[in-house]
Structure 1
Amino acid sequence: MSKASPSAKTSTARKTTKVPAVMPVHDEPGHLIRRAQQLAVARFHEVHGRNATPIQYAILRTLQESPGIDQVTLAQKIALDTSTTADIATRLEAKGWIERKVMPRRQRSLSLTPTGAEVLLELQPGIELVYQAVLRNLEPAEQDEFMRLLRKLVQIDN
């Protein structure tokens, strides 16, 4: 009895593997997630204008909750890469919204400035309006379920 070669097994596996049907792009999870994110950003700008972005808001909120954290920790908390976080932090420092202090090992400690704290106070009341606008097509129970599923989805990949 002869053994099948690894390449023969592979080609047999390929022949029996069922290829999933191609779904319309508008039904693909990645496309829908991207569209939902676009919707959320658009609603943020409708409520707040263009002075701040959702990512900048996330940074300000995180620094409010964890003053003095370093850029690497901030990047981890808001799920951004460290170079993007550093670029945004530089811009926020130039706006006078945060202060960056050099720490040992070339890390930087980040804190809100009084101006940054004021900006955050101005943004916070509108955040609920943004959430309501984003979720308005869902019934209250669906909103709760949607948020539960989003949290579950992002926890899988974090």
Structure 2
Amino acid sequence: MPTPKNPPAPALHAEPGHLIRRAHQLAVSTFHDTHGREITPVQYAILRALQDHPGIDQVTLADKVALDTSTTADIATRLEAKGWIVRELLARRQRALRLTAAGEAMLQDMLPRVAPMYHRLLEPLSAEEQAQFLALLRKFVHLNDAARAESPGKSRET
């Protein structure tokens, strides 16, 4: 029986974590329906970050795409094996990353389908609801990132 110290758990479909996980599943499914399975959404994010910031090191890249450094290094190794990026050794074992011509071509092929993909994903919402949803997502991520930055020992999840 619930007590004031132990309130009843909310229904599963009302729990924020469950809803966020389901929204992520929908986004990933839409991504794969649009772009196939040769590239993942995280690999795409890394390629986009490198397009915007050519030559950045892996630690900075990890921060830009909100991944831990070891996961970023693993993904960078896979992207290099696919021929989409090059990693140049810097001082203190850091690596500068850049898109290759093949990586740039992959992005150029994908980019025309990105906006229609997100339109299809958000289409069930009205234009006003889409704007509210995206604003709340940005706020949610920003505030939680800021709170994590203030709490030492909290690492980024993959």
- The superposition leaves residues 71-107 of structure 1 with CA deviations (integer Å, 9 ceiling, x where unpaired) of 0000000000111100000000000000000000000
Counterpart position of 1:45: 32
Give the structure-2-normalised TM-score.
Answer: 0.87
Counterpart position of 2:150: none
Counterpart position of 2:58: 71
Name structure 1 gaps, 5 residues minimum: 1-15
Matches within 5 A, 1:1-158: 18-158=5-145
CA distance in 1, matches of 2:124, 2:12: 21
CA distance in 1, matches of 2:115, 2:68: 27
Q: Is the 8 A contact 1:40 1:130 kept in 2?
A: no
CA distance in 2, matches of 1:27, 1:105: 48
| Matched residues, number | 143
Q: Which runs of 4+ in 1 moved over 2 A?
A: 16-21
Structure 1 residue 18: Cα displacement: 4.2
Structure 1 residue 19: Cα displacement: 3.4
Query: What CA RMSD, in Å, does the superposition of the two structures yield over aligned residues?
Result: 1.2
Where 1:156 maps in the other structure, the secondary structure is helix
Q: Which has the larger radius of gyration?
A: 1
